[in-house]
Structure 1
Amino acid sequence: MRILSAEEAGSSILRRRPLNEAMHSPEIEARNREMFGEPLTTEQAVARIIDDVKENGDDAIRRYARLLDGNALEAFEVTRSEIDEAAASLPSGLRDALETAAGRIRTFHARQPGGSWTHWDEEGGTGQIVRPLDRVGVYVPGGGAAYPSSLLMAVIPARVAGVREVVVVTPPGRDGAVPPAVLAAASVAGSDKVYRIGGAQAIAAMAHGTATVPRVDKIVGPGNVFVTLAKRLVYGIVDIDQLAGPTETLLIADETARPDLAAADLLAQAEHDTMASAILITPSSTLALSVQQAVEDQLTELDRADTIRSSLAQHGGIVLVSDLAAAAELANSYAPEHLCLLLADPWPLVDGIQNAGGIFVGEHSSEALGDYVTGPSHIMPTGGSARFHSPLSVRDFLKITSLFAVNEKAEKRLGPAAIRLAEAEGLSAHAMAIRRRLSKDRNED
């Protein structure tokens, strides 16, 4: 694992790439050519899939399931008996772990405020009516892997918010089956329906609705490049949570940090995929060398060593800085999805962090623990979007209606100012709508 100066890191591993740039690769475009028989960009391929599903519904979904995933599915919906059987088949320890995680996630999100309010005074009232969305779609990555935790982290906040119906889509394996752990998580979290559909076609189905898949109001959950682009293209037809890019972790550590734990955290991040970013920033050259060695030592023990090596070689590194203030400045500029503080006294640095999806305070608060059972959702902003975006929460599943209920006294006092503003904007009908009311009030007096 390379060790870099702050300047070197700024032009390499800490340099943000635009989402469009990150989503293009010769491998993806070659696959598009193979699948569609012509040289389509990823955006063009995704747009074609969305239009096809919009026009042809379930038939288009079946066609893309065969073409892209090698599945000859006729029925997309997972039956309730299949879900129940999957839940019953799980080892008791795994079932208990899902229940533990669900309980922690539910308790955390139940603490988030989000109620309606109205303020009344002598001029009437104003306020906000806060209501849950009616139907939400959750995308759970799958295909070659199982991510029951991602299902819990999305479905439970929606349930806490009061969403009436929560549907889940997830790509099945080559055998057409959804992993039992994912189906058990759907049961534990309270999902209403589960569909064995993945990719851009799943996003299109939830956005437009088909004979089988209901149209939703919002789509949440991470996915691959096709899923992310599909979410971007259907935004406006439905709401979305974010445009998720490759996952990332930034560690800030001082000389008191245990090198083996810092290395373990970096490796845990890098095993996601070859696009993942795992970066350590430290003012201690001694720690940097120790972590570098610990990474090599621990790699030999891990199943996904090839993926980890590729991830670290492309996107990982250790950055040496002058002090912790410089480390915090780099972190705020990078705006990581996960920020882990492995420091003797981490709390003073917390107040200086402005941009991060989640801050993991101290060596006991590992990101790996947070990915599963700490409580906050692990669906967090990536790609530097923590500058303006937030982790998935109850608020993502609520909508606000503003309430206007001023009385005659307020109309008389505020009307002249509104008329002047309307006239300044050249909107004479606006001004007249207010004048007529004021004139009517005077005549009645």
Structure 2
Amino acid sequence: MMRDLPRTRSTTPADRRSSLLPRRPDQARWPTVVAYGASGAAAMFALSAGALTVGARVMARLPLVPRESLRGRPDLAVRAVHPDRVHLDDSAVSRRGGVLALRQAAGAIHVRLGPVQGRPTPTTVSRPLLATDTEQPLQVAPAASNGFFWAGTPQTAHGLPTQEVEIDSPVGHMPAWLVRPAPDAAAPDHADTWAILIHGHGSARGETLRVLPLLHRLGLTSLAITYRNDAGAPASADRMHHLGSAEWEDTEAAIEFALAQGARRLVLMGWSMGGGIALRTSVRSAHRELISALVLDSPAVDWQDILVFHATALKAPPAMRQLALWMMTSRIGARLVRLHEPLALHEMTPRYYADHLSHPTLLFHALDDATVPPGPSRLLAALRPDTVEFVPVDGASHTREWNRDPARYERRLADYLIEVLDLDIDPAAVQVPVRDPGAPARADSIGLRL
């Protein structure tokens, strides 16, 4: 039996020369390495781009998605309750100057406290107990601060006769409080001057309770409104906040309601986003000539500045911030965040308002505001010193200028309205604050934050 002979392979001179060279395995692998590297780089790029897009989308949606106010959550710890004072854990909220209110048990417990009066221990502060608005007393337990200070409705908080009315807006019927002046008001002939009050982002009509007694004392009719996507109000088609870009239409509907009820001139007053809504209404309303004045409290004058401020605080990269703004302001980007239309942020800036504002404006802004930085408010006042009176408030947080010093705030507001509206009132005859923060609780008072 014959064995198979080993097969031989013919060799060429080139093969013989290559066999004499030292072998380098990497030369055989480099195309594969390059291919893997290219695919890995592409994957990393896609992953980075995807992460950037997801992060920008989350950032863009955060201020747009309606939610219950976070202010109802406990943010203070009550350590001791005495008949005349309360001890709280030391924090930025508990040590801040001015008056403060606390809620527990979803409003079943509500108390009003005065300014800090001492430090019982190195880790606590003491505040005087001014009044208890509910039957249940304060407990040694977590509590939520109530920046509105007062609770309930104008009727239960201040004894002001209040009508619950509905305003027919483009998206449905919006509930509102209507408070008419008393017959013995300081200026009884000015009931046809209406103050339309607009609360802030994630807030509620209760935000207006701090100024209603003064407006009532001055003889103005007050209308505290809601707007689309508020609790108890109809939702917009996309169920998203538009930061005032569209909500001004609800204020316009409130203006038309007031005119139908006999209003002849108007004051728009807004807090935070409500201040931005008031500004936008003042430059877009079909009834601009009837607006006599604006009063703005920590207003959102420049949403791009606000969004960049918070994104920077979160250490978001510049590319992510720019992409988030593009999503909010372009038609294609708006679809990514489920907006039915892009936001007109370019029309909500200090320079735009400076070019279009024509109404006398009183502008309060807390210098310690960490929610809406005061820079754009200051810039608007600098651009239009002829019409904007800027009132910086030291030591106050966002929309807490009244809380910092109720008498000072109401004095400035009363003097301004008396002058700009030409009310037949002696400013010195108006005692402020009109409702003492330490006034005894009314028999029908409640602790609900409405």
TM range (shorter): under 0.3
Q: TM-score, normalised by structure 1?
A: 0.27
Q: TM-score, normalised by structure 2?
A: 0.27
Larger Rg belongs to: 2
Would you tell me which structure has more helix in proportion to its own residues?
1
